[in-house]
Amino acid sequence: MSPPPARRLENVLVYSKPSWYVHPTLSATNHWFLHFGWDIGVNIDQTDHTGVFNLDDLMRYQVLVLNSTTNFGQDLDDQQKADLVTWFRQGNGIVSVHAAAVHHGAWDWYANLVGCDFAADSVRTPARLVIDPAHAEHPAVKPFAPEIWVNEEWLCYDRAVTGQPDVKVLMRLDEATFEPVREKFQQMNVQPMGADHPAAWTRETEGGRFFYTAIGHDARVLNSNFGRRHMLEALRWAAGETP
């Protein structure tokens, strides 16, 4: 029996329509993805139109990037949701960036894929990221193990994803190195996550691949050496790229 054909990252769709809070940096990060595609030789298309969520259009892509899509799924009808699930189950991948883990209760399937929701955020601040030794060989974090400092607006989640089915946490935030809950949320009595504060994780399920990263609030981190390598390897992994 001949081996399966090699897979290559070739076509990516970036979807960026938020349904709740609109990051003022969204236009800049959309442009960053387009330029990044030119730099790495990958076709990257960007849209905020839900009409793309039909099986014919989706099958043009190996990876869907959800760029800070607060409450993703709210604007999709039942057929669009079904087509996206079908596409995902055919071996494709989703890369969710920053606020794509924020307020997504409108769609249970996607909420379960992410595994948590937004609780609070920080001001933009440097923080220490610790690579999980069990998953330090993942190419999205391997060059930076065992730790790296990154300046970003960090999110707190309502629960940890460690131990959830098929989840591998790639890196965690060291809350001793920054204030994880900014003043607005402190006044709402939101508590830090503690020792298990995930910042990037994967989930392989239903035949597809899901990758979440907390970075991407704006283009500054994305355009750093860390951000570019981290995102490139996230896209490659989500596409199922093989040697």
Asked whether the predicted pLDDT for residue 2 surpasses 60, the reply is no
What's the average model confidence in pLDDT over 193-202?
98
Split at pLDDT 50, 70, 90, the class of 19 is confident
Helix axes 26-40, 225-239, angle to 10 degrees: 70
Asked whether the predicted pLDDT for residue 18 surpasses 90, the reply is no
As a whole-number percent, the residues of the chain with pLDDT over 70 amount to 98
Within 10 angstroms of residue 69's Cβ, the number of other Cβ atoms is 28
pLDDT at residue 22, rounded to an integer = 81
Strand partners, 173: 129
What's the average model confidence in pLDDT over 15-20?
87
As a whole-number percent, the residues of the chain with pLDDT over 90 amount to 91
The secondary structure of residue 240, as a DSSP letter, is: T
Encode pLDDT of 60-103 as tens digits. 999 999 999 999 999 999 999 999 999 999 999 999 999 999 98
Find the Cα–Cα–Cα–Cα dihedral 220, 25, 216, 243, rounded to 10°.
-90
Asked whether the predicted pLDDT for residue 53 surpasses 80, the reply is yes
Asked whether the predicted pLDDT for residue 1 surpasses 70, the reply is no
Q: Can you tell me the distance from the alpha carbon of 14 to that of 23, in angstroms, rounded to the nearest whole number? A: 15
pLDDT at residue 4, rounded to an integer = 61
Considering only the C-alpha atoms of the chain, give the largest distance between any 2 of them, rounded to a whole number of Å.
Answer: 63
Q: Can you tell me the distance from the alpha carbon of 1 to that of 19, in angstroms, rounded to the nearest whole number? A: 48
Q: Can you tell me the distance from the alpha carbon of 147 to that of 11, in angstroms, rounded to the nearest whole number? A: 31
Split at pLDDT 50, 70, 90, the class of 26 is very high
pLDDT at residue 23, rounded to an integer = 76
Specify the higher pLDDT residue, 243 or 150. 150
Encode pLDDT of 113-161 as tens digits. 999 999 999 999 999 999 999 999 999 999 999 999 999 999 999 999 9
